[in-house]
Structures are given as structure tokens and as C-alpha cells.
Chains A and B, each alone.
Chain A
Amino acid sequence: MSVDLTLKIGGEAGQGMQTIGYVLSKTLARGGFHLFANQDYMSRIRGGHNFFQIRVKEEPVYALSEEVDILIALDKATVKIHRPELKEKGVIIFDGEQIDISPKKPHLLSVPLERLAREEGGNKLFSNSVAVGAALGVLDYRFDILAQVLKEVFGRRGEETVQNNVKAARAGYDFTRENYKDSQVSPLQSGKGNKKMLISGNEALSLGAMAAGCKFMAAYPMTPSTGIITYLAGKAREFGLVAEQAEDEIAAINMAIGASFAGVRAMVATSGGGFSLMVEALGLVGMTETPLVIIEAQRPGPSTGLPTRTAQADLEFVLHASQGEFPRAIFAPATAEDAFWSVVKAFNLAEKYQVPVIIMSDQHLADSYSTCHKFDLRKVKIERGIISDTELTKIKDYKRHRFTPSGISPRAFPSQKGRIVITDSDEHDEDGHLTEDLEMGKKMVQKRLKKIEALATEIEPPQVYPHENAQIILIGWGSTYGALREAVDILIDQGVDVSLMHFQEIWPFPTQLVTSILSKAKQSFCVENNATGQLARIIRAETGRKVTGKILKFDGRPFSSQYIIKELKKKKG
């Protein structure tokens, strides 16, 4: 039987679920498994209820499951909240000497986490490592992989800390192997598959920016985008880049625009609230034709909303943000691996077409870890769309906004002798000087909009899986991919004639392909993490076609395949 295992670690904020989760994930990925891991946390530093969930399979996996095999409960609430999710053969690991859970029921496996931590590590702080060891003991997993991962994760804190963690983990591991011999959870034999990367959406977006040669990034901290500036700031010295915490999002985007104008690849990252503040400058990007990459990591709104939860409710806002009309591109990566490549492409398009490119992330993508093959850096192509110095010297009279057949003007940077570069947020002439000549204004609007034609040809049409001729089409965008794809696989197994049409690049809208696919399908359903079906509206506006129905979820949590299947069965009639 193929592996499909879910581990969940729950407790209060501050109990270190994230570290346990990360260590477990890394250890399992090392063993050759694919996994998808996600944290569910509250917007607080202590208390409350948080959990980290890991789903392990032998094939690629991009979604969570609603059913749990191993639950590590660091507090009593976790047992109460998550016991219903436990599979028949599942197990709950908890510290019976610390938390009293009565009546005793099957599935409960008390491990003296604190006592073992003190005895083996010398401090109760090591109880999380005992818990990790205990979980892997239940799975009869290779301990040496865990020991190596602990060494890497805690190495910075010194050899003694590493050793204490390893000892504590070993104690937990041995404990469950000795005391839980009748475990019904299938053991996990590692060793299959090659070495994979374990990476979160935010890490992938950051790495994509670095690979693309982003040299300037500015942001104002806002969950769930903060991980990006944090990551880049940590690499600033080594990779020669600047990640600046601006005084506000307005400053952040204007700084990035200044840096881009002066010749470097620049980016901002924020969430919906911060993006709202950036909107005027988004128009500035459009008007001055200054390339910029914007990452918009969505969370439920409006206003402050739910800071640590997920949503896909900003699509229409991002699509229409700013006064006036100008070209933009909108991407919505499906997985962390996609996120990496989408940033690389975003920088190329932004510079080639001198437009803003917005990458729609969300809390689910940003914070989830998944395994993928190591990025092939040779495939990273950098196309800057800048005119070379030799070409420049041939231009006698350099004009930053010169009219051309494609609408794309020669882009040069300030500071080179023999030319000056002028641009303006006011409507301007070819030189970049402000103008109130209305004929000129009209021509400039046309020039800028002209760029859409070629830009549209660069857009990757939605992925259709497994084929275009299914009776039912499920439609999604961005981070819902994993749950959708799994739902389609399960439904096909059950004999339903269904396919998935999934958008990773939404704008300019791939009208032709979408129209043709929808015209073949009997029924179509938009599956979105919002309350009104924003993609459905865009599809209607662009293709004139109305989807049959919508499967929506706006409770701040991501989709699971089970949820999609359940809702589809209700709706498809």
C-alpha cells in the first residue's frame, strides 16, 4: 500500500510546534519522501491553539489531509480539538505525567516527555526532541537521519545542545519502540527517492528573487509576507543585496521604484493592507514604465482581517488597483517550486515590458513547506530588456518614452555620459517631460496599452489536468492546486469524468484557451478561497461564459480534497 501519512503537532503558541514540525519534515524528506507541511497559527505570541501538520507520501503532495495518523499533543486542548480527526489506527502522543487525560481511551500513548528530557538532556526544554523521537519511534523510522537533522538545525547553538537534543530524541524513540510494540501505524521505510529540497513558499519566492538577480527589496512587516524580507535580509551581505525595512508600504514601493529606475532589479512584498497603501505607486510604475515585481501575500480581509489565515480574496482588487489604465501581469503560483520560477519570470517580464508584475501568494502558500527537486539554476534566464551601450551610442537623441511599434521604449539608466533619463508621473512626452498636450496624452496611453499585445503572448495558459475533454471542469488558481489536483485524482478513480483547469498566470487573461475548454465542458465549477467567486467573475467578463457553480471557502483555512469532493457532489447534481 502506498504511504499517505499525516502527523500533527498541536499546542499553545510559544511551545515550539514549528521547530518540531520543521525537524520532523526535514527528517522525513531526507528519507526520500515527499511531503507537504503547513502551520496553522493564531496572531499571538503566547497561548491560544496552534498546530503544525505534515502529510507524507511517496509521490509529490501539495495538500493536507483531514485525517491524522500521529497526533503529538503538547497540551490538553490539542487532544480535545483534534481527536475526531484521528484515523482508526492512529495514535496520540502526549505527556501523561504533565497532562491528565481521562478517561483513558485507546489511541493514547503517554510518553514522559518532560521527564525523559530532564533525565537525558538535563533540561525540560528538550521535551520537543523527545516528542520528535517518540513519533519516529512509532514509525520505526531511521534514527540516524533524525540525529543528522538535529545536528544541522541546532548546530549553531553548539555541540552540547546538539548532543542533548539527540539524546533526548533517542530516549523518546526508544521509549515508543519498547512500549508501543502493538502500534498499528505502518512503519515508514526510508531510502526511496533521491535527495529533495524542503522549502516554504516564502523561501521559494525569496530564492526566486535572488536567482533572478533582485538587488533591492523593501517591505514593511506584514503577515504572511514578512518571511520574504526576513530571508533576504539574512542573505544581504553574502549576496550583495539590500533588503530595507521601510517606514511604511508607501515608502517601500517608492524606494523600490527609485532603485529600479536607477538600474537594479527591485521588488516589494506585502499583504492586502500594505498593498492598499501601495496602490498609488502601482500607477506610478505603470505611468513611468519602471519595472517592478510585487508580491501580494493574501490573508482574509477586509481591513486587518485575520492576520495569520489564508484567503484568495484580493484578485479583483489587484487586477483593478490604481486609477487609469495600463498593462500589468498577475501570477498565482501553485506550489513553492512554482513560486520560485514565477518570480524569475516576473522579473523578466517586468523589465522586458516595463510593467508591474504582481505575484499573488497567500498564507497557505507562504507558510507551507513542501518537497521539490533542487532548482536547476542553469534554467534561470535573465532577460533585462535594457538597450546596450553600443545601441545607445547609436541613438542620437535619447528619449526614455520614445514611441515604437511595440510600445516598448528604450530603457537606459541615469548616470551614463551622453544621455539623460527623464520620467514623470504626470502625463509626459517622449522625452519624459510633463505635458498637457492632449493629443500627446492620448498617444501615450495607447503606447503603454500597446505593450499588452506582446505581453499576453508570454502568459502560460492554465494547466489542464488530465485532459481537455472532461464533462466537468474544476477551475482554480494559485495555492489551491494541490487540493484540487488530488480531488480530481480521487474523483476520476470513482468514475467521475472530471478535469482541472488551473491558473498560475492569470493576467493578461488567456481568453482563447479558456473559452475553448469551457465550451466543451458540460459543467464547470470555480473553486476559490473567497466568498464571491472572483475568478468566476473574471472568466465571465473575459469569455462571456458563466461557470455552472462555485465551491467557495472563506473560513481562513485552505481547501482539502475531501472538502472539494463533498461540495462538488452536492452541486453537480
Chain B
Amino acid sequence: MVTIDDYQGQVTAWCPGCGDFGILQALKKALVNLKLEPHQVLIVSGIGQASKLPHYMRCNTFNGLHGRILPVATGAKVANQELVVIGVGGDGDNYGEGGNHFLHAIRRNIDITLLVHNNKVYGLTKGQASPTSDPAFVTKVQPGGVVSSSFNPLSLAISQDAGFVSRGWSGDIDHLSWLIKQAIQHKGFSLVDTLQPCVTFNKKNTYRWYKERVYKLAEEYDPTDRLAAFERAQEWGDRIPIGIFYRKQKPTFEDQLAGLKKGPLFRQKLDPSQLKPLLETLS
């Protein structure tokens, strides 16, 4: 029986009180809940405070470049569908540096889960604005406040008909862990954008700020209604919904790749003699 202890990792280097702790706990809980063992799981992360997460647990880890989580995760999943592949990173990683990959991961609908620690700031580089920073958010690089509008990952994902679009809150570990479990179980690309206070660099979107606003989508909420989901994804301000906004079962990337019909790539025998008939046609 797999337990939380099996996922015990290195000593953390996050600031005390950081929202990342809640996400780490929720993720471990979800994996244990799914009875997944560490060797069955691959976490691909980028660079940032969030992306350090896999070192603080114990499972297969590819801690790659800033912004390049999704391509690495895609390649790994195509090579081995038996792995549960989870992408972990920050809002800068996924919506800034790697924004293009986010669009295309949705289009491919590869069966991976993307867990975004959305602290609406660049933590590791000490407090610059991120694509999700609220307008007028003041930083040392944006001393007059952010002028660009805030990127809304949920409405983008819904607009592109992503198969699983959700928002979690690091302050509610049980709910977040449930969300992550649902996301992993969903076949196809799943987004879990998670509200995460950065206690050091984001003095606006604090625990208190979120606690006053966050609410769970009601039981009656129908996540298959795309227009309603889109509308709900616009809600931000006094009230901030969390939960599964939208879900839709679609064929996955792997299911449709002709090259995988013979089975997972990594299990295939390498046999040069297979090429013989092909060489015949060239002469």
C-alpha cells in the first residue's frame, strides 16, 4: 500500500507560509488516493519556485527549462503511455515563457495534467509582474503598475474547447487534492490552475484576500455547458469560483497517432532488418 511517506522528498526551500506547500500536500494526497506508486509517476517541471516542487517529493522527475514543461511532458507521454505524466510550474512558466505550448497542448489533447501554481507574480526572480498579475499591480519593474490586462487561462482553455478546465485554491487542500485526482483521471489534457499566495512578493492577492472571495462551484453547476463555463470563467473580483469549470471527453492525441498502433514506443523492438522492403523500392 502506497502512503504519503513514499512520496517524502528533499527539504523545501520555500518561504514559510507559501501557498506552494498546500499544493505539494494536495498533490501527494491525490497520488496516494489514486494508489499510484512513485515509479509510475513522472513530474515534468520548469523553472521557478513552483517548478522546484518535484524535488520536494519523490517520483520520476524531469526538471527542465523555464517555460518548456509541456513539450517535454508531451514527448515523454508519447514515448510511454504507461506513465502518469504531470506538468508542474508557475504562471510565468506556463503562460509567459511557455504560452505557445499551452495553446498547442490544448489542441493536441495529450493525456497529461498541468498543475499551474498561479501566484500572479514571478517568485523566483523576486517579484516582477506575471501574465496573470492584476492590472495596476506595482512591482520594481512595473513601478507605475501593470498596464497590460490580466491573462485568463480558464477562459482561454474553454474557448479552445480544452477537455478539463479547473481552478483550485492552495488554501483548501482537500478540494485541491480532489481536483487533481479528477484531472489525472480525465483522459486528455487537464488544466488545474491553482490560486497560490506568494507571501513574499504578492502583497495584494494574499490568503486573506482569497479567503474573502473564493467559493466552490455549486453541486448543480453543469461543467458540460461550454458557454456557461466561459461565462463563469470571467468572474473575478469580489467572488472567485473554484472547481471544475468545463469538461468534455474527446479522443486523445495518443489514441490518434498512427505510430502508436503497434503499442507504446518504448516497448518496441528495434530491428533494422524491417527496412529491407523499403530499400527495395528505392532501387
Identify the closest chain B residue to A246 (Cβ): B71
**Which of A215, A235, A375, A419 makes the CB contact (< 8 A) with B279?**
A375
B258 touches A237 (CB 8 A): yes
Contact of A250 with B by CB under 8 A: yes
User: Across the interface, which residues of A come within 8 angstroms of B270, CB to CB?
Assistant: 212-213, 265, 382
Q: Which of B100-108, B164-172, B198-206 contacts A (4 or more CB under 8 A)?
A: B100-108
B118 CB → nearest A CB, Å: 22
Contact of A262 with B by CB under 8 A: yes
**Which of A198, A215, A265, A423 makes the CB contact (< 8 A) with B63?**
A423
Contact of B125 with A by CB under 8 A: no
B36 CB → nearest A CB, Å: 11
A197-237 near B? 1/0 per residue, CB < 8 Å: 11100010001001111011010000000000000000111
Known contacts being A211-B272, A236-B259, is A262 close to B79, with CB within 8 Å?
yes
Contact of B278 with A by CB under 8 A: yes
Roughly how many angstroms separate A236 CA and B283 CA in the complex, as a whole number?
Answer: 21
**Which of A263, A281, A420 makes the CB contact (< 8 A) with B59?**
A420
User: Across the interface, which residues of A come within 8 angstroms of B266, CB to CB?
Assistant: 215, 262-264, 413
Contact of B141 with A by CB under 8 A: no
Contact of B55 with A by CB under 8 A: yes
B63-74 near A? 1/0 per residue, CB < 8 Å: 111001011111
User: Across the interface, which residues of B come within 8 angstroms of A378, CB to CB?
Assistant: 272-273
In this complex, the member of A210, A421, A422 whose beta carbon has the largest number of chain B beta carbons within 10 angstroms is A422
Contact of B12 with A by CB under 8 A: no
A424 touches B61 (CB 8 A): yes
In this complex, the member of A262, A284, A425 whose beta carbon has the largest number of chain B beta carbons within 10 angstroms is A262
Roughly how many angstroms separate A248 CA and B98 CA in the complex, as a whole number?
Answer: 11
User: Across the interface, which residues of B come within 8 angstroms of A198, CB to CB?
Assistant: 282-283
Roughly how many angstroms separate A546 CA and B268 CA in the complex, as a whole number?
Answer: 50
CB contact list, B45-81 vs A, under 8 A: 47, 52, 54-55, 58-65, 68, 70-80
User: Across the interface, which residues of A come within 8 angstroms of B273, CB to CB?
Assistant: 377-378
Interface size class on chain B is 35 or more
A-side interface residues, number (CB < 8 Å): 71
CB contact list, A248-281 vs B, under 8 A: 248, 250-266, 280-281
Contact of A374 with B by CB under 8 A: yes
Known contacts being A215-B265, A262-B75, A377-B279, is A425 close to B39, with CB within 8 Å?
no
B282 touches A197 (CB 8 A): yes
A21 CB → nearest B CB, Å: 16
User: Across the interface, which residues of B come within 8 angstroms of A284, CB to CB?
Assistant: 64-65, 68
User: Across the interface, which residues of A come within 8 angstroms of B72, CB to CB?
Assistant: 254-255, 257-258, 261
Known contacts being A237-B259, A254-B71, A424-B63, is A259 close to B78, with CB within 8 Å?
yes
Contact of B276 with A by CB under 8 A: yes
Contact of B263 with A by CB under 8 A: yes
User: Across the interface, which residues of A come within 8 angstroms of B163, CB to CB?
Assistant: none
Roughly how many angstroms separate A241 CA and B78 CA in the complex, as a whole number?
Answer: 10
Known contacts being A259-B79, A433-B55, is A239 close to B274, with CB within 8 Å?
yes
Contact of A288 with B by CB under 8 A: yes
B62 touches A251 (CB 8 A): no
A382 touches B272 (CB 8 A): yes
**Which of B58, B62, B71 makes the CB contact (< 8 A) with A423?**
B62
A434 touches B73 (CB 8 A): no
Contact of B83 with A by CB under 8 A: yes
B65 touches A280 (CB 8 A): yes
**Which of A203, A246, A250, A380 makes the CB contact (< 8 A) with B282?**
A203
Contact of A432 with B by CB under 8 A: yes
Contact of A573 with B by CB under 8 A: no
A218 touches B75 (CB 8 A): yes
**Which of A196, A254, A423 makes the CB contact (< 8 A) with B75?**
A254
User: Across the interface, which residues of B come within 8 angstroms of A251, CB to CB?
Assistant: 68, 70-71, 74, 100-101, 104
Contact of B148 with A by CB under 8 A: no
Known contacts being A210-B275, A240-B261, is A216 close to B75, with CB within 8 Å?
yes
Contact of A97 with B by CB under 8 A: no
A258 touches B62 (CB 8 A): yes
Contact of A418 with B by CB under 8 A: yes
CB contact list, B139-191 vs A, under 8 A: none
Roughly how many angstroms separate A382 CA and B258 CA in the complex, as a whole number?
Answer: 25
**Which of A235, A247, A281, A419 makes the CB contact (< 8 A) with B103?**
A247
B279 CB → nearest A CB, Å: 6
Interface pairs (19), CB distance under 8 Å: A207-B278, A216-B75, A216-B265, A240-B259, A241-B265, A251-B74, A253-B71, A255-B74, A258-B75, A261-B62, A261-B75, A261-B76, A284-B68, A414-B83, A418-B39, A422-B54, A424-B55, A434-B52, A434-B55
- The 8 A-B pairs at the shortest CB distance, nearest first, are namely A258-B75, A213-B270, A254-B71, A414-B60, A255-B75, A240-B262, A258-B72, A237-B258
Known contacts A242-B78, A425-B63; 4 additional CB pairs below 8 A are A262-B75, A264-B265, A288-B64, A377-B276
